[in-house]
Structure 1
Amino acid sequence: MKWFVILQLVALSECLVIIPLMKIKTMRETLREKNLLTSFQEENSDEWSQNAADDTKFSLHPLRNHMDLTYIGNITIGTPPQEFRVIFDTGSSDLWVPSVNCYSPACRTHKLFNPHSSTTCQLSPWTFNLTYISGRIFGYLGHDTVQIGNLVILGQIFGLSNTLIGFEKAPFDGIVGLGYPSLALQWTTPVFDNMKTQGIISQPVFAFYLSTQKENGSVVMFGGVDHSYHKGKLRWIPVSRTHYWQITMNRITMNEVVVGCFRGCQALLDTGTTYLLGPTRIVTAIQKLISARPVGQEYVVPCSNIRHLPSIFFTINGHYYPVPPQTYIRKSHQGHCFSYFRGGTENFKRAETWILGNVFLRLYFSVYDRGNNKIGLAPAV
């Protein structure tokens, strides 16, 4: 399940006014001038995303695990509020929900936003279209109040679909994108950026804890980090490109043999993706190593083989992040076993690219620090 690829805005214009302000040096700038910033961050990395459970500008929002495929939370839009099931997706940056003006078959199975029932909604004449691997969306833009837990975002721009193709069986109504603004529709501001500029979160961070198998217990948190959801200290990894949540990966190994990322590569951490995705040629070789054979669109593994298979190790910033076979192989209710590896990332032509989806993120609590453009990882509890 993948929720990104092509984003296109048909028309939108907006004025931007920049007002110069007198700036006082921050502690960060003073430390950088004295070449002390790196060591200070390493020694105090957890302080940059301090537990803020008693802060009104911190929100811990529950997510529901849908069959270990995706994680779904609720938001409201409008006044009075209209509730929607959404994916909080680090692999995209736009917010959209279906509208009452949508007559596609997919819209009949989802909650629809009625702009005329909201006293705070303002519609725009500008249209948009989004293309995902799973389907396409056509619609128009609007502004309204969005609420996530105790966080209220005013004047949030969002998409209302009037044509929805390919989402008939999706267990969610819409998507909240948490990627960088450069990934969003042109001249629009993503939800998280509005949280920051409107001052409704105490710190420019969010984090995910994704449970395994259990339907309840997963959370997304905004404005701080509850450290009770991970073991040990967070290891921080710099973002290599501020577009997706993208990092540099050193190598991928099985049984101490390099099986991917041979000369270093790029990796995207993506909560909108179920699988471990990589270049098709490399993934096909890994499928052979684990005795997975293609059956339709799936790769089937003999369930009796799982206990004999090795873990796969993703080396990131010099640290090993193992993923055991019980994690990269899924056992269905019918007793069949399937590989969670998928190909298809050769569309990223600049470098070998991998997408670490929920298979990886269930194992590792992840923190996304927009203030410092880095990602923190630690074993999940």
Structure 2
Amino acid sequence: MRWIGFLSLVALSECLVIVPLTKIKSMRESLRERDLLRDYLQRHPYSQAYKLLRQPRVTVQSMRNYLDLYYVGTISIGTPPQKFRVVFDTGSADLWVPSIYCSSPACVTHRIFKPLRSSTFQDTNRPIKLVYGSGSMTGLLGYDDVRIRNLVCKSQAFGLSTTESGIALEFAAFDGILGLAYPSLAFNDTTPVFDSLWKQGLLPDNLFAFYLSSNKRNGSVVMFGGVDHSYYRGELQWVPVSEQGFWQVTVDSISMNGTVVACPGGCQAIVDTGTSLLIGPPDPVLNILKSINAQNTSTGEYIVSCDDVQSLPDIVFTMNNVTYPVPASAYIRRGKTDICYSNLYKDTLTSFNHWVLGDVFLRLYFTVFDRANNRIGLAPVVA
């Protein structure tokens, strides 16, 4: 989560009768949009979907979409449990929350962990520090029980913030961050939450998956240890992880209108649920922005004519010989004053030189993070 907060013919009789069909949302889709699906399934325990939800040890955690900036779910830490809103972030590997030791403005406006109120807390006095693209934290390392719905991860390492800097953290709708990247990115000699869940035998399969809603607050989920196939269309297509730190993959090329506009000889990308935008190296991003006649503003943002959005081409990412189109309706957003902004961001703050496929991309594709086989599965989401 380096950049969090940035901005799916009827023929009758002897004569052929063709009846035009209008797509009607299924009851399941309608209930999910209103966040009523689970309640309905619990009242109808013999439905197939409820059987899926009742599979032993498969955990589905709901998340709330905050203005398409980030997705937040609730966990708890300690005994008795203390609740926190966290971003489930595949771009980092550590769990941290504000603590009673912190006096930064970001801590004052968020829930704080109180060690003395937990009978299972273990202190270490070990200092930690994390730096993100939109803020940073320092703190102390501790251990306690972490709960994600029905999962209880015993003696999990986590950070207790003592300082939090950055406007993004101060005004965030989340308290902390729960990292889901590989252990090599975690605090030294600690085990990330997902690895602990697997090692403690709490998951049937060594994977987790995301469905991110678009333009609505409810309906988004992260699922641990299993996959709900009703969230996507067709078959999952698999992309090997190219380096085990971030969830990093190889992009074969990036094209528009059949012409390669970036990454002609292949490049690397990070699949990151904690980043809101599509991010890339400056020159390739600028080439794309110029090709859609985007204009730079005094704030560094790029805008296009809202009248032109429908005619703009898809940005097509090809990975493992499979194409993943990102339409203009995804990479352009309408502002409050009928100005349309680009969701492409050029990385001028680091020398990372990788693309970051953030929520702009992930809202289009149901995503499975398969640690057992070190691969990522992608399939178009159910509309």
TM-score range, shorter chain: 0.7 to 0.9
Q: In 2, are the aligned partners of 1:279 and 1:346 still within 8 Å (CA)?
A: no
Shift of 1:330: 0.8
Shift of 1:171: 1.4
Q: Corresponding residue for 1:359? A: 360
1:164-219 Cα shifts (integer Å, max 9, x gaps): 10111111110000000001111110000000000011110000000110110000
- Matching residue within 205, 230, 233 for 2:232: 230
Q: Corresponding residue for 1:117? A: 117
**Paired AA for residue 63 in structure 1:** M
Shift of 1:353: 1.8
Q: Corresponding residue for 2:345? A: 342
Q: In 1, are the aligned partners of 2:3 and 2:276 still within 8 Å (CA)?
A: no
Q: Corresponding residue for 1:74? A: 74
Secondary structure, counterpart of 2:101 in structure 1: coil
- Matching residue within 253, 256, 277 for 1:254: 256
Shift of 1:335: 2.3
Secondary structure, counterpart of 2:170 in structure 1: coil
Q: In 2, are the aligned partners of 1:2 and 1:274 still within 8 Å (CA)?
A: no
Q: Corresponding residue for 2:88? A: 88
Q: Give the gaps of 5 or more residues in structure 1.
A: 5-50
**Over the residues paired in the alignment, what is the CA RMSD in angstroms?**
1.5
Q: Corresponding residue for 1:269? A: 271
Q: Corresponding residue for 2:314? A: 311
CA distance in 2, matches of 1:3, 1:153: 28
In percent, how many aligned pairs have the same letter? 53
CA distance in 2, matches of 1:221, 1:345: 34
1:196-251 Cα shifts (integer Å, max 9, x gaps): 00001111000000011011000000011111111011011111111111111100
Matched, 1:287 2:261: no
| Number of aligned positions between the proteins | 333
CA distance in 2, matches of 1:302, 1:363: 23
CA distance in 1, matches of 2:221, 2:286: 33
**Paired AA for residue 278 in structure 2:** L
1:319-358 Cα shifts (integer Å, max 9, x gaps): 1100110110011233221100011178456xx5211000
**Paired AA for residue 211 in structure 2:** Y
1:146-173 Cα shifts (integer Å, max 9, x gaps): 1011111010010000101011111111
Q: Corresponding residue for 2:329? A: 326
Counting only pairs closer than 5 Å after superposition, residues 118-157 of structure 1 correspond to structure 2 as: 118-157=118-157
Task: Return closer, same or farther for 1:364/1:259 CA change in 2, 3 Å cut-off.
Answer: same
CA distance in 1, matches of 2:3, 2:323: 27
Secondary structure, counterpart of 1:154 in structure 2: strand
Range with greater deviation from structure 2 (280-289 or 158-167): 280-289
CA distance in 2, matches of 1:85, 1:3: 18
Range with greater deviation from structure 2 (266-275 or 292-301): 292-301
**Paired AA for residue 131 in structure 1:** V
Secondary structure, counterpart of 1:239 in structure 2: strand
Q: Corresponding residue for 1:244? A: 246
Q: Corresponding residue for 1:61? A: 61
Secondary structure, counterpart of 2:253 in structure 1: strand
Secondary structure, counterpart of 1:288 in structure 2: helix
Counting only pairs closer than 5 Å after superposition, residues 189-208 of structure 1 correspond to structure 2 as: 189-208=191-210
Q: Corresponding residue for 1:300? A: 303
Q: Corresponding residue for 2:173? A: 171
Secondary structure, counterpart of 1:304 in structure 2: helix
1:273-330 Cα shifts (integer Å, max 9, x gaps): 0111110111111111112112203211111110111111001110110011011001
Q: Corresponding residue for 1:373? A: 374
Matched, 1:99 2:99: yes
1:2-29 Cα shifts (integer Å, max 9, x gaps): 358xxxxxxxxxxxxxxxxxxxxxxxxx
Shift of 1:135: 1.2
Secondary structure, counterpart of 2:107 in structure 1: helix
**Paired AA for residue 303 in structure 2:** V
CA distance in 2, matches of 1:163, 1:336: 37
CA distance in 1, matches of 2:348, 2:80: 42
CA distance in 1, matches of 2:349, 2:107: 32
**Paired AA for residue 311 in structure 2:** H
